[in-house]
A and B are shown apart, each in its own frame.
Chain A
Amino acid sequence: MMTLVAKGLSVSARLAGQTVTVLRDLDFAIEPGKILGLVGESGAGKSMIGRVLARSLPSGFVVSGGSLAFSAADGKVRDLVAMDGADLARLLGDRIAFIPQEPLTALNPLLTVRAQFDEHLARLGVPAGDRIARMIDALTQVRLSAPQSLVERYPFQLSGGMCQRVLIAMAFASNPALVVADEPTTALDVSTQATIVQIMRGLQRDHATAMLFITHDLRLAARVCDEIAVLYAGEVVERGPARIISQDPQHPYTRALQAANPPLRGPLTRLVTLPDQMPGLSALASLQGCRFAPRCPTRDASCETASPELRLVAPGHWVCCAPACSGSRPAVPPITRRSAEASGSEPILVVDTVAKHYPGKRDWMGRRGQGVDAVKAASLSVRPGEFVGIVGESGSGKSTLAKLIMGLEAPTAGRILIDGHDVTAPSSATRSIRLGTLQMVFQDPQSALNPRRPVERLVTQTMEAARSGASDAERLARATALLAETGLPPELINRYPAQLSGGQKQRVNIARALCVTPRLLVADEIVSGLDVSVQAQILNLLLDLRTERGIGLVFISHDLAVVRYLCTRMLVMHQGVVVEEGETDAIFARPQHPYTRALLAAAPPDELDSPWPPAPVQETLDATA
């Protein structure tokens, strides 16, 4: 008996008088004790499925066809789409439980863990006297230490990982038949992700729960799931056993996803990118034939007219692609990494044992609190054309280090040199040295770009700082050149940020930093908010900039694979300390510091045969964190 069977599930939306099919004809099934992964980039419709289950579609969206047959342990089969709303509400939180994406905001900030867990148990009909014991038991199962004192805390007193464990404990408290986990580890650090996956899998296996695991991360899905369905623009383009989908994908989109993901081991080749991005809602309406065809590297004329159907290519393996499509893989050139020695020049930037101490707040009697050492004695140097990666988890001090380099904060100790000039203390003199040499690219292009300025004014913003002031013609010419350099179509020059896609915004963000032809970019998590295929485009753009302009880069990221792809040298930061530094390849091959080893072990490896998550390593990481 399957726990959940979707048949021909379709969702449509009314958009400017047109009906757009957002989810088209989805078929999938999950049996008890199994995990089905729904994998896709943003806009694929993967979260829409969870919203159909909970009947919380955005206004204007309706289920236009199909069924979702759900059967719990009582053997009754109910259609979640057709059933009465009140009956469905009774199933939610009891038979069907949800694990959210953002654990820190998914708990009410004004209520203790106990109050919220108690409310949930009361709703499940647990008598008042038994609730605290049930709570402690459930929290122990998710490996939270000292649950008795933890329940009295408020969410803001807990870390993201702890909140997620509480939410997992609540989800499994009713022993549900189905758990829907929507990107449950996306907001968490690598090491926390490993623990959360371990806990979730453990509970799911023990209770023989069916699970829907929604993620953008094909590599993670391959690790977590039994079966994977890959979604593109509201359609399942490929479905099959996780091992096969991740190792021998047949659909050109799945292959592209895999090719866009930089590997953690093995030879590095230039990432293969797809042009453009997934069609948005308005584009879907006018799209004929295969929805992937406009981006497909192997399309032919028939793809643009006929919609392909899912067809069986191997036992249990379905692909939605025209049979003519052979899907030959294009040959990719290996990437060349110019090492620091090869360029052989003096460093542009030298950071010499800098530290940043934030003093604690004074209390009402004027006594100072303890304060935080955000960065303790960090050193690094960057030569022209050198890409240096800084890796660390949240709170490691990597973003503070970027601010110190940029002069946005003043270090409390140490020196910062640019071309041999001391620019340690931020002042107007050091500012002008910095501005001509360094530029920063910010993490979130959404908030880094002024929404009221057109692209032309955005990318040439730094020209306003010059005392002379650039003429409009100069700015237009510079903007046109910058768009070409960052691979943006020239017609975007008069658009506003709201009219751009996420990838385009990040390119504009980079173009703006390039305006004054800096020799060094400081980039703080600039690809972490992007989809894999867009991420690959940006990474390749950075490599091209190095080839063409010999630009240097300080690349701050939590993503080891991305740092390995881009950077010749890397630093590992942990709690404000640089614990390891060296050639990227050497660190990946022979990590010296236990934290680096733990961090490397926590990232899901590409090879499905190597065990992950590694339990003993995990415990050491918890101990150091």
Chain B
Amino acid sequence: MAFLTLQLLFRRLVLAIPILLCVSALVFGILRLLPADPVGMSLPPGATAADYEKLKQAFGLDRPLFEQYLIWLGKLLSGDMGGSIFFRRPVTELIAKALPATLELVSAGFALGVIVGGAGGLGMFAMRGGAGEHALDGATTIMMAIPEFLWAILLILFVGVSLQLLPFIGRLGPGIQLPPPVTGFLLVDSVLTGRWDSLRSALLHLVLPATALAIGLAPLVMRVLRSSLLETVQDDYITQARLRGVSERRILLRHALPNAALPAISLIGVQGGFMFGGTVLVEMIFAYPGIGNLMVDAVRNHDLPVIQAVALVYCVLVLGINAVVDVAYMAVNPRLRLAGSR
């Protein structure tokens, strides 16, 4: 299993190279079509045309587009993503600061979506034909009918503003100091340094944005798992287990659920990728300092180096989550692990 996992991850890695090259070329090319003038933006007011040409040469923008791309790519490979025009800081530094926040948010949203979706799917199946199923079914329809950014606003209005139950701005409450940085992950650093006040505050700040993200995943998982369970319990091995006197509870959890989970896992893989896209709006609405917010700022200010870098980071994250889901799928399904070894 360990060997196969490594093999799978290695294969994913090899396949990721051409994908990343394509994405980087695409992003680089499309951004050049924007009517943005990074040189002009970088110059102080009152600069001369000579200053402009000088800076343009310094940026390398006077060379052909293909050459520019290769230079950028070469620097990227050595870990240099260039400098932000707007923030006047290295792009790597900006991303290193924002990425852990986004990863924490997505992990929380992902976990919440999978747990709620899994439990809801099981619940809907267990209450099939009854009022409970109809209630849950209605709930999934409402969840899916409203886009996640609107959910974010609704959550802020109801839970944050009206009920004042949970904070909805940033990652930490006012007056709470950041824990000393160890890993860059706020939750992890808080635990490592024993800062329970910042841990509590960070967790509370995660609830609403993570919920807004999870709403994009949970109802789909619920529905797929429910219908997949309904199909699975018709299978022969379920009947045969029942004829062996296996308890209904055990039939559901040990025999039906793992088999029914397979299509749900595939779906989670696809939706997990979309979740990163969801962070852009959700982070902006909750003023959450992740790469989504960084992206919004960069787009607003035509900060091309940042846009390029964040787009690539998103691509890597989506490929990463797909690889994780593949490994999970393989762990559940022996046919993939043992294919060919009949």
Interface residues of A (CB under 8 A from B): 54, 56, 89-94, 97-98, 100, 102, 105-112, 119-120, 123, 154, 156-157, 167, 170, 361, 364, 369
Contact = CB atoms under 8 A, between A and B. Distances in A.
Interface string B1-42: 000000100010000000000000000000000000000000
A123 B245 CA distance: 8
Given A361-B340, A364-B11, 5 more contacts: A91-B245, A98-B240, A100-B240, A123-B244, A157-B342
Contact of B245 (A94, A106, A369): A94
B244 A109 contact: no
B246 A119 contact: yes
Contacts of B244: 92-93, 97-98, 120, 123, 170
17 contacts: A56-B242, A90-B245, A92-B244, A93-B243, A93-B245, A97-B243, A98-B240, A100-B240, A105-B235, A106-B236, A106-B237, A107-B240, A110-B259, A119-B250, A120-B246, A154-B338, A364-B7
Interface stretch (B44-52, B64-72, B300-308, B329-337): B329-337
A263 B129 CA distance: 51
Contacts of A100: 236, 239-240, 243
What 4 pairs across the A-B complex have the smallest Cβ distances? A93-B244, A93-B245, A105-B236, A98-B243
Interface in B231-268: 235-237, 239-247, 250, 254-255, 258-259
Given A110-B258, A110-B333, A364-B7, A369 B340 contact: yes
Interface of B: 7, 11, 235-237, 239-247, 250, 254-255, 258-259, 332-335, 338, 340-342
A167 B240 contact: yes
B245 to A, nearest CB: 4
B335 A108 contact: no
A108 B241 contact: yes
A281 B260 CA distance: 33
Contacts of A108: 237, 241, 255, 259
A90 B247 CA distance: 10
A369 B243 CA distance: 40
A105 to B, nearest CB: 4
A480 to B, nearest CB: 40
A106 B7 contact: no
Contacts of B247: 89
A119 B245 CA distance: 11
A17 B328 CA distance: 49
B236 A110 contact: no
A109 B259 contact: yes
Nearest to B237: A108
Given A93-B246, A94-B245, A154-B335, A107 B340 contact: no
A154 B254 CA distance: 15
A110 B329 CA distance: 12
A369 B245 CA distance: 42
Nearest to B335: A156
A94 B244 CA distance: 7
A109 B335 contact: yes
A29 to B, nearest CB: 22
A102 B340 contact: no
Contacts of B241: 108
A211 to B, nearest CB: 15
Contact of A89 (B11, B235, B237, B245): B245
B245 A102 contact: no
B293 to A, nearest CB: 39
B237 A105 contact: yes
Contacts of A89: 245, 247
B9 to A, nearest CB: 11
Contacts of B335: 109, 154, 156
Contact of A92 (B237, B243, B333, B338): B243
Contacts of B258: 110
A457 B307 CA distance: 59
A93 B342 CA distance: 29
Contacts of B245: 89-94, 123
A168 to B, nearest CB: 12
A364 B13 CA distance: 12
A135 to B, nearest CB: 14
Of A92, A94, A100, A110, the most chain B CB neighbours within 10 A belong to A110
B332 A102 contact: no
B226 to A, nearest CB: 19
Contacts of A110: 258-259, 332-334
A56 B244 CA distance: 13
A361 B339 CA distance: 11
Contacts of A98: 240, 243-244
A610 to B, nearest CB: 35
B242 to A, nearest CB: 7
Nearest to A369: B340
A313 to B, nearest CB: 36
Nearest to B10: A364
Nearest to B337: A154
A92 B242 CA distance: 8
Nearest to B332: A110
Contacts of A92: 242-245
A109 B235 CA distance: 11
Of A92, A98, A108, A120, the most chain B CB neighbours within 10 A belong to A108
Contacts of B338: 154, 157
Contacts of B254: 111, 119
A112 B335 CA distance: 11
Of B245, B254, B335, the most chain A CB neighbours within 10 A belong to B245
A361 B340 CA distance: 10
A124 to B, nearest CB: 9
